Amino acid sequence: MAFSTPISSSYLPRVYSQLSAHEATSETKSRICLSNASSLLQRTLTYKAGFPSHLERRESFNFKVSASVTTDVSTPELPVTPSVVKGDTWSIHKFGGTCVGTSERIYNVAKIVTEDNSERKLVVVSAMSKVTDMMYDLIEKAQSRDDSYELALDAVFEKHKATALDLLDGEELSSFLSILSIDISNLKAMLRAIYIAGHVTESFSDFVVGHGELWSAQILSSVLRKGGVDCNWMDTRDVLIVTPAGSNQVDPDYTESEKRLEKWLSQNPSKAVVATGFIASTPQNIPTTLKRDGSDFSAAIMGALFRARQVTIWTDVDGVYSADPRKVSEAVILNNLSYQEAWEMSYFGANVLHPRTIIPVMRYDIPIVIRNIFNLSAPGTKISRSPVNEIEDKKNLVTYVKGFATIDNLALVNVEGTGMAGVPGTASAIFAAVKDVGANVIMISQASSEHSVCFAVPEKEVKAVAKALEARFRQALSAGRLSQVAVIPNCSILAAVGQKMASTPGVSATLFNALAKANINVRAIAQGCSEYNITVVVKKEDCVRALRAVHSRFYLSKTSIAVGIIGPGLIGATLLNQLREQAAVLKEKSNTDLRVMGILGSKKMLLSDTGIDLSTWKEVHKEKGEKTDLEKFVQHVHGNHFIPNTVIVDCTASTDVADHYHDWLREGIHVITPNKKANSGPLDKYLKLRALQRQSFTHYFYEATVGAGLPIMHTLRDLLQTGDKIVRIEGIFSGTLSYIFNNFVDARAFSEVVMEAKAAGYTEPDPRDDLAGTDVARKVIILARECGLNLELSDIPVQSLVPDPLKGSASVDEFLQQLPSFDTDIAEKQQAAEEAGEVLRYVGVVDVTNQKGVVELRRYKKKHPFAQLSGSDNIIAFTTERYNKQPLIVRGPGAGAEVTAGGVFSDLLRLASNLGAPSC
């Protein structure tokens, strides 16, 4: 296994120039595609034919020979087992600043160390929290000749004195206080010198800053001794030797460090050692530091030097999460990670370890465990060579992707032109120009057509990069060999990390599928041959949603949908009840999480960041609801939370609300509705809406618009999609009118039966829509358009049952009050039919063959199927090419709260299954 550290941009031109040197001499055309996953831990170049043998090992690169070339940067060899520690079993603990931030916490650390039963223990400590910053501040103040550095130094003294007074007594206390006083007076002298010079050297600064660790190590070791542990403290500057390795990095000199360690241990034998983290010395014995995350690195180096049993990094989180928990609330702690996985995750800002921390322990297969000092019951995350996969036996894709991470504030640069294809040296020239401006290349992608190379750099560096490329390729651009150097700003990277992705077909497909379903556009893709990481570039504003979508798809296998309900009237409220009753079952049985994030009525709305409690929503909406604001509502449901998919369920009968569907679908918001207005409104709007729906991955479902919960749309779509040809659809489409004519018998008053239908919840919010035939006409139009007929509502002749004098009634109440005066008109029609042995039925017809529709009151013989209905039954007969002798008939209750809400609910489940929920 080759050791790798992140490859900085300056390596790229060297890799590419070696390749182009080969290309210039090679007979085979060698460059097809290049790609590096954004972690910079690996770069892969794929060749069409031939392999440049001179690349097998050059300078610091270690190329693997296969169908591809992998470059890793080698680290120095580690020494063989040191004699002094041979046979001893050391365990290493590292405690960061927060772990030793107060007297109480230091005491707690001592307890943890004491309770570790290992034969020998080495404890690496950071400075008490905030002390390192205080020390840097002292230097800053002295350097800028700010006299307050003296007071600031007093504060440092007081902090450590107070801690020692809390924890120590007797000889241990006086000895520490005397050392502390000497250190402080030395520091005073040094800071005075810095003050006078108005300047500080790096070694002076490192010397001053390192005191925080010296004091915390001494205090902890005294506390351990006080508790009966045989313990010494180690100033790691006496042991750990490092050499600068450029760009704020150092390389440990293991051979020299080991020699010094042997000497130190022979002079200071003890069962436990408390060592200072972060600080070290140069080969010339000048104090230095291990730079960023130095204490973790110290612990890892010590782990390697001691061939430790285990290195435990104590921190304030339960372990490594499957994604940033601030962005994905369902992120879970990973019990196990391989070194490579931890490495990749850490690159993407996961709260793991700096990659260089892993290198020393990886060599000797020493596991690192990350644990939470504030939650000892959490087992933490174990990082080792071949982790036992906790979910392996589930045999699903979860096994192969461990976690997800993101990097923001990037820009993509796309260098494009037909003149690039087959021209050796182009990549080398591009990255040489990037290197010249010191920009860091985070990800690279080139399609094998070779017409463009695209790469990501930090946003702040992109201007300089574009300028450098334009200058470098000025001639090619003006000659047209390159068509453009384009910058795509505001991008983010999303990476999926997992060691087993390599050997598993379908991982990328699942990833991209989840992104497509969340309506996320992918701008660029990179995946190295090792496949530890698949990287995609997306727009910054889509990044968190993308992260949630892929996380829930892979890791949780849960389809989470944020639901916004508009119109909590009869149907809306019934749907909310059904959701409440079914939510737990759906979560458990089909891994589907339908979370209602907002409820909006015409006057008030209720919003929640985590999901509305559906057992109390009505009271809370009424009492605590805020003023309705549709835009804010939609933004809230779609934006500010942790669920990747959004659906708006429109349970109003409003045209204004329906007019928003197009915009919502365009924004990636799914729409479900029993409201007929959009599909029966102006034809051009309808066609635009359906065209958008067909083009996008966003869903628009409206089963309950015809026949309420009856599977009418579903049946029709199945017939059409399987290639059947619809000849005619006819039936009783109105639950209200069906109920009325089924019950308008035995000399009952027509108006009385209308009131019953309204009370039963069958009518439209305005029952005149039912009686006037408008509701049926809308259903006829919806079905006709579904069959491909381009009809407007006004194309349908409709026989209204609203008496002419009432057509201008001001309100529903006024209309209902006046209706009884017209009971005799309709009673006469009913009587005439009765006398002929017939019944009245209000029917709708879609005549596909002749491209027209009609809505009217007809008479049917009592034996006719339409005469056999009861309650609010709808009956719809599809005559098709396949069903031409006997029509396909769907019959059942076609109105009412429960069945309609049930139809809407089934659309929600259809959406969930389209978004990846398992079928039941």
Ligand X SMILES: NC(=O)C1=CN([C@@H]2O[C@H](COP(=O)(O)OP(=O)(O)OC[C@H]3O[C@@H](n4cnc5c(N)ncnc54)[C@H](OP(=O)(O)O)[C@@H]3O)[C@@H](O)[C@H]2O)C=CC1
Helix (H) or strand (E) holding 289: strand 287-289
Give the whole-angstrom CA distance, residue 766 versus residue 653: 9
Out of 96, 707, 735, 853, point to the residue binding Na ion (CB under 5 A). 707
Q: Which does 880 bind (CB under 5 to 8 A by kind): ligand X, ligand LTNE7NMQ, Na ion, none?
A: none
Residue at 529: amino acid letter: C
Residues ≥6 apart with Cβ < 8 Å to 883:
724
How many angstroms separate the CA atoms of 188 and 217, rounded? 21
DSSP state of 555: I
Q: Candidates 380, 568, 625, 853: give the one binding ligand X (CB under 6 A).
A: 568
Q: How far is the CB of 764 from ligand X (least distance, A)?
A: 5
Paired tokens of 21:
């040197």
Determine, following the binding rule CB under 6 A, whether residue 734 of this chain makes contact with ligand LTNE7NMQ. Answer: yes
Is the Cβ of residue 450 or residue 764 nearer to ligand LTNE7NMQ in the bound state? 764
Using the minimum distance from each CB to ligand LTNE7NMQ, give the nearer residue, 105 or 677. Answer: 677
User: In this complex, which beta carbon is closest to ligand X, that of residue 469 or of residue 708?
Assistant: 708
Q: Which positions ≥6 away from 296 have C-beta within 8 Å? A: 94, 277, 313, 353, 354, 357
Q: Does 602 bind ligand X (CB under 6 A)?
A: yes
Does residue 710 touch Na ion according to CB under 5 A? Answer: yes
- 710's contact among ligand X, Na ion, ligand LTNE7NMQ, none, with CB below 5 to 8 A by partner kind, is Na ion
Q: Among residues 275 and 712, whose Cβ is nearest to Na ion? A: 712
Check if the beta carbon of residue 258 is closer than 8 Å to that of residue 360: no
Out of 95, 661, 741, 762, name the contact with ligand LTNE7NMQ by CB under 6 A.
762
- Give the residue with the Cβ less far from ligand LTNE7NMQ, 439 or 876: 876
Residue among 360, 403, 735, 844 that touches ligand LTNE7NMQ (CB under 6 A)? 735
Q: If we measure between CA atoms, which residue out of 785, 825, 834 comes closest to residue 804? A: 825
**Binding of residue 770 to ligand LTNE7NMQ (CB under 6 A):** yes
Single out the residue of 764, 823, 873, 907 in contact with ligand LTNE7NMQ (rule: CB under 6 A).
Answer: 764
Q: Residue 712 interacts with Na ion (CB under 5 A)?
A: yes
Count of residues that interact with ligand LTNE7NMQ, criterion CB under 6 A: 11
Count of chain residues binding Na ion (CB under 5 A): 4
Nearest to 607 by CA among 641, 580, 561: 641
* CB of 252 or CB of 761, closer to ligand X: 761
Going from the C-alpha of 894 to that of each of 332, 677, 719, 839, 904, the distances in angstroms are: 45, 18, 21, 19, 13
> Which residue's C-beta sits nearest to ligand X?
569
Strands 272-276 and 231-234: parallel
- Nearest alpha-carbon partner for 913 in 721, 713, 666, 701: 701
SS3 273: strand
Q: Does 775 bind ligand LTNE7NMQ (CB under 6 A)?
A: yes
b (16+ CB within 10 A) / e for 318-356: bbbbbbbbebbebbbbbbbbbbbbbbbbbbbebebbbbb
Among 527, 652, 698, 742, binds ligand X (CB under 6 A): 652
Q: Interface with Na ion by CB under 5 A: which range of 44-52, 54-62, 319-327, 700-708?
A: 700-708
Nearest distance from C-beta of residue 765 to ligand X, angstroms: 3
173 versus 630: smaller Cβ distance to ligand X: 630
Element (H, E) at 566: strand 559-566
37 token code pair: 């996953």
Sole binder of Na ion in the list 703, 775, 786, 823 (CB under 5 A): 703
Instruction: For the chain, give the number of residues.
Output: 920
Residues 6 or more apart whose CB falls under 8 angstroms from that of 226 comprise: 167, 168, 169, 172
- Answer yes or no: are the C-beta atoms of 219 and 168 closer than 8 Å: yes
How far is residue 52's CA from residue 560's CA, in Å, rounded to a whole number? Answer: 49
Q: Are residues 342 and 336 in contact, defined by beta-carbon separation less than 8 angstroms? A: no
Among 360, 598, 601, 844, indicate the residue that binds ligand X (CB under 6 A).
601
If the CB atoms of residues 444 and 657 are measured against ligand X, the closer one turns out to be 657
Q: Is 896 in the site for ligand X (CB under 6 A)?
A: yes
Tell me which of Na ion, ligand X, ligand LTNE7NMQ, none is bound by residue 61, counting a contact when its beta carbon lies within the kind-specific cut-off of 5 to 8 angstroms: none
Check if 271 is active-site.
no
Closest CA to 744 of 632, 823, 837: 823
Q: Which of 210, 294, 567, 887 binds ligand X (CB under 6 A)?
A: 567
Interacting partner of 542 out of ligand LTNE7NMQ, Na ion, ligand X, none (Cβ under 5 to 8 A depending on kind): none
What is the closest distance, in whole angstroms, from the C-beta atom of residue 418 to ligand LTNE7NMQ in the complex? Answer: 58
Residue nearest to ligand LTNE7NMQ (CB): 736
Identify what 712 binds: Na ion, ligand X, ligand LTNE7NMQ, none; CB under 5 to 8 Å per kind.
Na ion
Q: Which of residues 772-811 bind Na ion (CB under 5 A)?
A: none
What's the min distance (Å) between Cβ of 618 and ligand X? 11
| Piece of 40-48, 578-586, 594-602, 697-705 that binds Na ion (CB under 5 A) | 697-705
**Other C-beta atoms within 10 Å of 920: how many?**
10
Q: Dihedral angle at the C-alpha atoms of 540, 542, 544, 549, nearest 10 degrees?
A: -150
**x/- contact string, 668-707, with ligand LTNE7NMQ (CB under 6 A)?**
----------------------------------------
703 binds, among ligand LTNE7NMQ, Na ion, ligand X, none (CB under 5 to 8 A by kind): Na ion
821-829, long-range: CB within 8 Å, 24+ apart, which pairs? Answer: 822/750, 822/751, 823/749, 823/750, 823/751, 826/744, 826/750, 826/801, 827/747, 827/749, 827/750, 829/857
Nearer to ligand LTNE7NMQ, 501 or 657 (CB): 657
Is the Cβ of residue 206 or residue 703 nearer to Na ion in the bound state?
703
- Number of H helices and number of E strands within the chain? 31, 35
Residue listed under structure tokens 């769907």 = 890
**Binding residue (CB under 6 A) for ligand LTNE7NMQ from 212, 498, 894, 902:** 894
Give the footprint of ligand X on residues 747-786 (CB under 6 A).
761-762, 764-765
Question: Following DSSP, what letter does each residue of 446-479 receive, concatenated?
Answer: E-TT-SEEEEEEEGGGHHHHHHHHHHHTHHHHHH
Q: Which stretch binds ligand LTNE7NMQ (CB under 6 A): 351-359, 380-388, 515-523, 757-765?
A: 757-765
736 binds, among ligand X, Na ion, ligand LTNE7NMQ, none (CB under 5 to 8 A by kind): ligand LTNE7NMQ
Task: Select which of 48, 589, 779, 829 is catalytic.
Answer: 779
Q: How far apart are CA 909 and CA 412, in angstroms?
A: 38
Q: Which residue has the tokens 């009385």?
A: 752
User: Of 209-217, 424-432, 540-548, 651-659, which part binds ligand X (CB under 6 A)?
Assistant: 651-659
CA distance 495 to 485: 25
Q: Residue 20's closest CA among 383, 327, 356, 420?
A: 420
Choose the contact partner of 295 out of Na ion, ligand LTNE7NMQ, ligand X, none; CB within 5 to 8 A by kind.
none
Size of site (CB under 6 A) for ligand X: 30
Q: How far is the CB of 887 from ligand LTNE7NMQ (least distance, A)?
A: 20
d(CA 475, CA 278): 50
- Residue keyed to tokens 């605590």: 624
Which spans of this chain sit near ligand X (rule: CB under 6 A)?
A: 566-572, 600-603, 651-654, 656-657, 674-676, 704, 708, 735, 761-762, 764-765, 895-896, 900
Which spans of this chain sit near ligand LTNE7NMQ (rule: CB under 6 A)?
A: 708, 734-736, 762-764, 770, 775, 894-895
Which spans of this chain sit near Na ion (rule: CB under 5 A)?
A: 703, 707, 710, 712
- Would you please indicate which residues are annotated as catalytic (active-site) residues? 779
